[in-house]
Amino acid sequence: MSAVDTGSISTPPAPAGLIPRRDMRVIWVLLTAAFVAILNETTMGMAIPHLIDDLGITPIAAQWVTSAFMLTMAVVIPTTGFLLRRFTTRQVFLAALALFSIGTLLAAVALGFEMLLVARVVQAGGTAMLMPLLMTTIMNLVPNESRGRMMGRVSIVISLAPSIGPTMSGFLLDHFGWRSIFVVVLPIALAAMFVGWRWLTNVGETTNAPLDVFSIILSAFGFGGIVYGLSQIGSLAEGAGNAAPLVIALVVGVVALGAFLWRQVILQREDDALLDLRVFASLGFSLSMAQMFLLSLAFFGTITIVPLYLQKALLLPTLDAGLIVLPGALAMGLLGPVIGRIYDARGTRILLIPGSILAAGTLWFYTTLTTTTPVWLVLISQIALSVGLALSFTPLFTASLASLTPKFYSYGSAVIGTVQQVAGAAGIAVMVAVYTVVANQNGGTDAPSAVATGSQVAFFIGAVIATLTVIGAFFIRKPQSDDSAPQHAGH
C-alpha cells in the first residue's frame, strides 16, 4: 500500500503521555538508522594511520576523509528543513539510507584515495538527513509531556555510537584492515533501509514549495566556506601551508552566508525559504541555540584534545586512552532517559543549572592536568564532564523544538544540526590550533610536558566558554504545554 500524508488521516488520540505502537515503530526505525550513521561517522579517526600506509598518501590528504565528511554535512544539513517539508518521511528516509549505503559500498571496494573520498561525501549526504528527520518526527509524534523521555533515547544514540565506534574500528583495523569497517556497517544499513521501506509511515504534511537553487549555492559556499576555513586553522598552526586558503575561505563563507540569510528573509514571506529563519522569532528557541552553540564549541574541542593529552602527555596506549573516555560516554547515554523524565516532570533549570556548573567546573579542573596527574582522576573527571553535558543537551534539544509551532519543527531541527556542526568545527579548530602552537613553543608535540602545557591552555579556552553557559542556564525554560495533539503516522 502506498504511503500518504498524515494530514489526510484522522486518528483517535492516544491517552495522555502514551505513544501509539505504530508511532513508536517509526521512531525506533529512525533511531536505529541514526545509530548506524553516527557509528560510521566515529570509526574513521582511528583509520587515518592505516590509510596513510595502505594508500600511500600524506597525513594532510588522509585527513580529508574526515574533513570532506564534515564539509558535506555542513552543506546538506541547512537544506534539510526544506527537504523535510517538501518530501514525505518515507522518501527522505529511503533517500538518506540509499545514499549512505551506496557510499558505504563504494568505500568498501575503493580502489584508491580518490574513490574513498567520493564515497565519504556520498555517505555524509545521507547521514546529514537522518538526525533532523529523527528530531522532527519525534516532535510531531510524541505528546508534549513525553518529549523529554524520548529525547533521552536520542541521547543514548548520540552518546553510545561514538563510544562504541572507536573501539569497534580499533578491533577491525588490527585484524582485518580499514575496508572491514565499511563491510561491517553496510549490511546493518541495508537492513535498516529494508525495515524502513517495510514499516516506515509518513508523518506531517508536505508542501509544494519550489526548490530555490540559488539558496543551495549560497548555503554551500556560506556554511562550507566557514567550516573549511576553520578546518585549516590546525594545519596553519602546525606550519603546513599558508594563511591564504584560510582567509579566502572564511571571507567567501561569511559573504555567502550573509547573502544566504538575506535571501531566506525574502523567500520566507511566501513560505518558500530553504531554511526559514522565523524560528528565531521564538525567544526560547533563540536562547537554547545560543546555549547549544557555546556548549558545542567547548565540548567538541575538548573531546578532541583529551585523547591527545592521554596518549602524548600521560603516554597511554591507544586502547587504554579509549577505555578512559568510554565510561563517560556510556554514562552520558544511559542517563539520557532518566534526564528526559526529569525534564518532563520538572522542566529545564533543575537540569541545566547543575549541568552547566558541572561541565564548566570539570573544564576548569582540566586546566590543572599535568604529566603526573593520576589516570583514575582523569577518568572520574571525564565521567563528571559527560554527566554535566548529559544534563544540558537533552533539555536543550527538547526545549528548543518545543518552543516552535509544528510548522517549524523541520527548520528548527535543521538549525540545531547546523549550529552543532559549525560550533563543533570552530571549537575543534581553535582548541587544536592553540594546543599545537603552545606545545610547539614548549618543546614540540612529542614532548609530554609540552603537550600537557598545550592541553592546559586549550582547556582554559573551553572552561571560559563553558562558564558562559552557567549564566545562560538561568534564562532557558520549558515551554508551556500546548493542547495540540501529536500527529500520528499514516499507512
How many alpha carbons fall within 13 Å on the CB side of residue 10?
0
Q: Is 165 helix (H, G, I), strand (E, B) or coil?
A: helix
DSSP per-residue string spanning 414-471: HHHHHHHHHHHHHHHHHHHHHHHHHHHHTT-TTSHHHHHHHHHHHHHHHHHHHHHHHH
The DSSP output letter for 3 is: -
| pLDDT reported for residue 356 | 94
Domain ranges of the chain: 18-199, 216-273, 276-481
Q: Are 412 and 400 in contact (CB under 8 A)?
A: yes
Structure confidence at residue 8 as a pLDDT band (50, 70, 90):
very low
**8 Å CB contact between 408 and 279:** yes
How many C-beta neighbours within 10 Å does residue 155 have?
A: 22
Contacts of 420 (CB under 8 A, 6+ apart): 292, 296
Contacts of 345 (CB under 8 A, 6+ apart): none
158 vs 191: CA distance, rounded Å: 20
The domain 276-481 having CATH identifier 3.30.70.270: the answer here is: no
Distances (CA, A) of 81 to 85, 129, 258, 395, 467: 7, 9, 19, 21, 31
Can you give the pLDDT at residue 5?
38
Residue 361 reports pLDDT greater than 50: yes
DSSP 79: G
Residue 76 near residue 82 (C-beta atoms within 8 A):
no
Q: What is the pLDDT of residue 290?
A: 94
Whether the per-residue pLDDT at 249 is higher than 60: the answer is yes
Residues 422/227, Cβ–Cβ less than 8 Å: yes
Q: Is the pLDDT of residue 10 over 70?
A: no
Q: How many angstroms separate the Cα of 43 from the Cα of each of 127, 170, 233, 251, 327?
A: 14, 8, 23, 32, 18
What is the spatial distance between Cα 275 and Cα 273, in angstroms, rounded to a whole number? 5
Higher-confidence residue of 18 and 22: namely 22
pTM of the model: 0.80
* C-alpha 291, offset from chain centre: 15
Highest mean pLDDT among 24-33, 38-47, 104-113, 358-367: 358-367
Model pLDDT, residue 304: 78
| Predicted pLDDT at 484 | 47
Amino acid sitting at position 249 = A
**The predicted structure's pLDDT at residue 425:** 79
Set of cell numbers at residue 235? 594545519
- The pLDDT mean for the chain works out to 82
Query: What is the Cα–Cα distance from 167 to 131, expressed in whole angstroms?
Result: 23
Read off the pLDDT of each residue in 255-264 and give the average, rounded to a whole number: 94
Residue 219, SS3 per DSSP: helix
- What does DSSP assign to residue 229? H
391: pLDDT strictly greater than 80 = yes
Q: Would you say residue 18 has pLDDT above 80?
A: no
Mean pLDDT: which of 148-152, 240-244, 306-310 is highest? 306-310
Q: Give the CATH superfamily of 18-199.
A: MFS general substrate transporter like domains (1.20.1250.20)
Mark residue 141 as left, alpha or beta (left: phi above 0; alpha: psi -120 to 50; beta: remaining): alpha
Model pLDDT, residue 161: 74
Chain-centre distance for alpha carbon 453: 29
Q: 406 falls in which pLDDT band (50, 70, 90)? A: confident
Place of cell 508523518: 203
Q: What is the pLDDT of residue 3?
A: 40
382: how many CB neighbours lie within 10 A of its CB? 23
pLDDT band at 89 (very low <50, low <70, confident <90, very high): confident
% pLDDT > 70, the chain: 89
Q: Which three cell numbers stand for residue 165?
A: 565506534
Query: Does the pLDDT value for residue 384 go beyond 80?
Result: yes
At 239 the pLDDT is: 63
pLDDT band at 380 (very low <50, low <70, confident <90, very high): very high
Question: Which pLDDT belongs to residue 308?
Answer: 81
The per-residue pLDDT for 401 is 87
Model confidence band, residue 487 (pLDDT cutoffs 50, 70, 90): low
Q: What is the pLDDT of residues 179-197, one digit of tens each?
A: 888 998 899 889 888 888 8
Confidence bin at 143 (pLDDT 50/70/90): confident
**pLDDT tens-digit series, residues 222-233:** 988 888 888 777
264-275 tens-digit pLDDT: 999 888 878 888
- What pLDDT does 4 receive? 37
Beta strands in 123-169 (DSSP E): none
Considering only 28-32, 68-72, 125-129, 272-276, which range has the smallest mean pLDDT? Answer: 68-72
CB-based contacts of 69, cutoff 8 Å, min separation 6: 41, 44, 120, 121, 123, 124, 127
Q: What is the pLDDT of residue 12?
A: 43
Comparing 101-110, 122-131, 134-143, the range with the smallest average pLDDT is 134-143
pLDDT digits (tens, 9 = 90+) for 309-354: 888 889 887 677 777 877 887 888 788 888 888 988 888 899 999 9
Residue 427 has pLDDT above 60, yes or no: yes
What is the DSSP-derived secondary structure letter of residue 36? H
Tens-place pLDDT, residues 472-484 = 999 998 887 544 4
Query: Are 165 and 42 a contacting pair, CB within 8 Å?
Result: yes
CATH topology identical between 18-199 and 276-481: yes
Residue 481 confidence (pLDDT): 59
Per-residue model confidence (pLDDT) at position 491:
44
| 156 vs 438, higher pLDDT | 438
Residues 465, 424: Cα–Cα separation, whole Å: 13
